[in-house]
Amino acid sequence: MNELELKYGCNPNQKPAKVFMTEGQELPFTVLNGKPGYINLLDAMNSWQLVRELRAATGLPAAASFKHVSPAGAAVGLPLSDTLKKMYFVEDKDYSPMACAYIRARGADRMSSYGDFTALSDECDVQTAEFLKHEVSDGVIAPSYSAEALAILKTKRKGNYLIIQMDPAYEPAPIETKQVFGVTFSQKRNDVTITEDCLTDIPTQAKDFPEAAKRDLLIALITLKYTQSNSVCYTYDGQAIGIGAGQQSRVHCTRLAGGKADHWFLRQAPQVLNLPFKADVRRPDRDNAIDVYIGDEWEDLLETDDWKRVFTEKPPVFTREEKRAWLAKAEHDVCLGSDAFFPFGDNIERAKKSGVKYVAQTGGSIRDDNVIETADKYGMTMAMTHIRLFHH
């Protein structure tokens, strides 16, 4: 099949809509269940590239959680600590590497991942399908599915869950085109390969990249390759923990993603892990409640009875002083990647507040000296990759 009709385009008024291949080629994917929409397939094609490249770069199963053509999270399949299991609501059993990768990717920003599109680098196994079964998700793309996993996923969304099988051998043409306002654009596909070789130009006084930092910087850079620009990505322990996408100012990306990284660490504080949720409260409602609890509006909520909807008793206020102390006491060794150069040292100043110790950025700003000086002030190791990763 080389053509597939869609329900509509980006919006219901945009009809007709379809995807198709030219010159007699077959579509590189098969729809096993459900009916894809235009945005579903944009997410599927972008997220598949991301997890495929993460798999090749790290040698580990990889997963991504996509929303509106940018990742909310991306990760590789490292084991989950007891803290992460509790934080991600998966204390019931051990999970396969493929399942761990998606649980981590989903856990980077569970609020943003609500209604996501899931991408898996390896076969979707039973444990991954069982976790997905209980999450609000629009669809999944993977190179294959075990028979039992496929049967589980086909029960989601009243049998309408979108399941796509990707041909792992497919390679696109080197030139890609798209139309905007009737004008056709053409360019060479961004097929740059991101490896540890791009981390060798280190202008800072600190020169050491531990192996874990190299892995996490590759995760950051590959994630950014498929994130709407401007973008930055904070990574830690094999996963994204904060992604700032589509901002016009780079420092706004750094602040946005840094705030998400801080939120990720705050979710591990005892005050949050031990919140007294009612047994019947669903995961999305827990995520919403945690977001409010960590945020500044919690004290206002305590003046009402709304907390009684999700908690068995009134949780104590997580004060600003307690939050600052929790973030400050941990040696995070967070990694930060940027899809282009940092124009000012203010990005590094903000990154430091979120525990960043290792940085990879394009370099080439007229103020590189200021950025390097700021990194040196905090003992950071920073690589100039000389690779720009704009994505639009």
Query: What is the spatial distance between Cα 234 and Cα 359, in angstroms, rounded to a whole number?
Result: 9
Catalytic choice (93, 188, 329, 392): 392
Cβ(105)–Cβ(130) below 8 Å: no
Give the number of other CB atoms < 10 A from CB of residue 301: 14
Distance, C-alpha 112 to centroid of its chain: 9
- Asked if 332 is an active-site residue, the reply is no
Catalytic choice (46, 67, 347, 357): 67
Catalytic choice (33, 40, 230, 347): 230
- Asked if 323 is an active-site residue, the reply is no
DSSP state of 172: -
Assign 330 to helix, strand or coil.
coil
Nearest to 387 by CA among 371, 364, 369, 353: 364
- Asked if 67 is an active-site residue, the reply is yes
- Asked if 230 is an active-site residue, the reply is yes
Catalytic choice (68, 252, 332, 391): 68
**Region of 228 on the Ramachandran plot (φ > 0 left; ψ -120 to 50 alpha; else beta):** beta
Q: How many CA atoms lie within 13 A of 4 on its CB side?
A: 20
Residue 72 backbone dihedrals phi, psi, to 5 degrees: -85, -25
Write the DSSP assignment of 118-160 as a string of letters.
EEESS-B-HHHHHHHHTS-EEEEEES-B-HHHHHHHTTGGGGT
- Let me know if 62 is exposed, middle or buried by CB neighbors in 10 A (0-12, 13-18, 19+): buried
Output the CA–CA distances (angstroms, integers) from residue 185 to 17, 42, 175, 181, in the order listed: 19, 17, 10, 10
Alpha-carbon Rg of the chain, whole angstroms? 21
**What residues act catalytically?**
67-68, 230, 392
